[in-house]
Chain A
């Protein structure tokens, strides 16, 4: 059913997203360019959610009655779809969490209490989202391990020349983003994985951004842990995935205790269930986990290659189109090294004002530090504006961004 080499039918794809068919409260066409924060939801995901609530809702892994059985079957079917989507070997390697942040915390705390000791090193990079920085700092503080940060080059790519000094025998974990949520930089995961494994480090990938734009096969790429969120993948909010290689999931301690994660509870101790249950304490977001399946099926039906081609076309068109905005600085590498994110500043205009004024033209963008404060510090700015694209975006919307910026500059008396 995957349409390999068939160009994306953008209009047909877009038509599946009801929110994009309407006008906002001010009667403006919605130009949604904040997909890096959250992508919009297709009708199939909305329908699936309504279906669960209205036809067979029951808690997961508890009911022997018909609804409970149905929920369990649907959940396992969603798990299988995800396994296939990321190329995992076993369905049991797919753990449902509340999102990427939760997944990374589970990994950091779990690996930390299992393998880290004083003097060990964790390597991250300067382009990480706070969710892939703070959990490591927390576990480092607890274990006496050290967090090291791989620098970036002037054009916003990982500085691989400095990799050998940073990734050493001391490195126990190397955790890196698949795609920078600020610069858009796409990292060479097979190369980084090989380097990590060469020193015996566990290779963790924060795929929150890349999952929507870049194909991933965890086995051939050599990814030990992969994390992503449903809501950045045309899926529901509140659900995320932690993929872990099975032997690592077996070895790693769980973060949360209680509920369905136990094998046997005694008065003075407990034993854990097998993965994935071991990491699915409490009631998991099972409705959302079930509704994640149609989101992935939508992506698979058109193919990530077709999505990528279209988005890349938008990116190059956008970079070209914005060239005539005076005082514009775009951050990140050349288009061939990045995904469809354009993060920029305009001299004399604060990102906060720009975001507000762009919204007056119906253009939705993100402003601020995008949860990448160290990266902003490095770039010497406190905030920026980010336009992040998805498969349903069009050239007209790039034009709207351009025209909105022209008008915003005028409004701020910069012309």
Chain B
């Protein structure tokens, strides 16, 4: 069922590498620049998936997100993209934290600990935090719906 190549686990920067880069850079503006690079390198979504239905609301920029469940591996695959590169960088962080996990793993992931570790809570504007939370909610809802449909 999974035939998509974008945002595949192999293309993603691991969370540990993002942590190390953030620690190395230290300065919040330099960290944002790094997010831009992560965003520029994020694999793109197919244009036909950028529909109104797949739009995540609450973001200042456009964000599209699709989740696919793989029955064999019982894992949820995420595909997302924004037209703003800093937001794309944040998507890279979310994908690093959530990609190809079981719905239960996703629900048990403490994403705010990840944001804390990266200092994002301090450096993001309230609007951007809103958008980020919108994306997190969308991922969690997909995981929850899947878990309710098919308890593991």
- Pairing of A with B: yes
Residues of A within 8 A of B (CB): 26, 350, 352-353, 356-357, 359-360, 368, 382-383, 411-413
- Given known pairs A368-B60, A382-B62, the reply for A412 and B36 (CB within 8 Å) is yes
Residues of B within 8 A of A (CB): 29, 32-33, 36, 40, 60-62, 82-87
28 A-B pairs with CB atoms under 8 Å apart are: A26-B29, A350-B61, A350-B83, A350-B84, A352-B60, A352-B61, A352-B84, A352-B86, A352-B87, A353-B84, A353-B85, A353-B86, A356-B32, A356-B36, A359-B29, A360-B29, A360-B33, A368-B60, A382-B60, A382-B61, A382-B62, A383-B61, A411-B33, A411-B36, A412-B36, A412-B40, A412-B85, A413-B40
**Residues of B with C-beta under 8 A to A357:** 36
The 9 closest A-B pairs by CB, nearest first: A350-B84, A352-B84, A353-B85, A350-B83, A353-B84, A350-B61, A352-B61, A353-B86, A413-B40
**Residues of A with C-beta under 8 A to B32:** 356
Inter-chain contact A356/B86, CB cutoff 8 Å: yes
**Residues of A with C-beta under 8 A to B85:** 350, 353, 412
**Residues of A with C-beta under 8 A to B86:** 352-353, 356
Q: How far is the CA of A413 from the CA of B44 in the complex (A)?
A: 15
Q: How far is the CA of A411 from the CA of B62 in the complex (A)?
A: 20
Q: How far is the CA of A303 from the CA of B108 in the complex (A)?
A: 64
Interface of chain B, main secondary structure: helix
**Residues of A with C-beta under 8 A to B33:** 360, 411
Q: How far is the CA of A404 from the CA of B127 in the complex (A)?
A: 24
Q: A352-B86, A353-B84, A356-B36 are in contact. List 10 more A-B contacts (CB 8 A).
A: A350-B61, A350-B85, A352-B84, A352-B87, A353-B86, A359-B29, A360-B29, A368-B60, A382-B60, A383-B60
**Residues of B with C-beta under 8 A to A350:** 61, 82-85, 87
Q: How far is the CA of A352 from the CA of B62 in the complex (A)?
A: 11
Q: How far is the CA of A368 from the CA of B84 in the complex (A)?
A: 12
Give A359's nearest chain B residue, CB to CB. B29
Give A367's nearest chain B residue, CB to CB. B60
Q: How far is the CA of A237 from the CA of B143 in the complex (A)?
A: 47
**Residues of B with C-beta under 8 A to A382:** 60-62
Q: How far is the CA of A22 from the CA of B46 in the complex (A)?
A: 47
**Residues of A with C-beta under 8 A to B84:** 350, 352-353
Q: How far is the CA of A141 from the CA of B33 in the complex (A)?
A: 46
**Residues of A with C-beta under 8 A to B62:** 382
**Residues of A with C-beta under 8 A to B40:** 412-413
**Residues of B with C-beta under 8 A to A26:** 29
**Residues of B with C-beta under 8 A to A356:** 32, 36, 86
Q: How far is the CA of A26 from the CA of B82 in the complex (A)?
A: 29
Q: How far is the CA of A411 from the CA of B85 in the complex (A)?
A: 11
Give A357's nearest chain B residue, CB to CB. B36
Q: How far is the CA of A139 from the CA of B36 in the complex (A)?
A: 44
Q: How far is the CA of A352 from the CA of B131 in the complex (A)?
A: 13
Counting chain A CB atoms within 10 Å of each CB, which of B33, B85, B87 scores highest? B85
Give A413's nearest chain B residue, CB to CB. B40
Q: How far is the CA of A356 from the CA of B24 in the complex (A)?
A: 21
- Given known pairs A26-B29, A360-B29, A412-B85, the reply for A353 and B60 (CB within 8 Å) is no
Minimum distance in angstroms from A348 CB to a CB of chain B: 9
Counting chain B CB atoms within 10 Å of each CB, which of A352, A359, A383 scores highest? A352
Q: How far is the CA of A383 from the CA of B62 in the complex (A)?
A: 10
Q: How far is the CA of A368 from the CA of B125 in the complex (A)?
A: 13
Give B87's nearest chain A residue, CB to CB. A352
Minimum distance in angstroms from B11 CB to a CB of chain A: 17
Q: How far is the CA of A411 from the CA of B87 in the complex (A)?
A: 15
Q: How far is the CA of A352 from the CA of B60 in the complex (A)?
A: 8
- Given known pairs A382-B62, A383-B60, A383-B61, the reply for A353 and B36 (CB within 8 Å) is yes
Give B40's nearest chain A residue, CB to CB. A413
**Residues of B with C-beta under 8 A to A413:** 40
Q: How far is the CA of A368 from the CA of B40 in the complex (A)?
A: 21
Q: How far is the CA of A353 from the CA of B89 in the complex (A)?
A: 11
**Residues of A with C-beta under 8 A to B83:** 350
Minimum distance in angstroms from A26 CB to a CB of chain B: 7
**Residues of B with C-beta under 8 A to A368:** 60
Q: How far is the CA of A368 from the CA of B128 in the complex (A)?
A: 12
**Residues of A with C-beta under 8 A to B82:** 350
Q: How far is the CA of A356 from the CA of B85 in the complex (A)?
A: 11
Give B85's nearest chain A residue, CB to CB. A353
Q: How far is the CA of A413 from the CA of B85 in the complex (A)?
A: 11
Q: How far is the CA of A412 from the CA of B32 in the complex (A)?
A: 13
Give B125's nearest chain A residue, CB to CB. A352
**Residues of A with C-beta under 8 A to B87:** 350, 352
Minimum distance in angstroms from A345 CB to a CB of chain B: 11
Minimum distance in angstroms from A289 CB to a CB of chain B: 30
**Residues of B with C-beta under 8 A to A412:** 36, 40, 85
Minimum distance in angstroms from B128 CB to a CB of chain A: 8
Q: How far is the CA of A118 from the CA of B96 in the complex (A)?
A: 57
Q: How far is the CA of A411 from the CA of B40 in the complex (A)?
A: 10
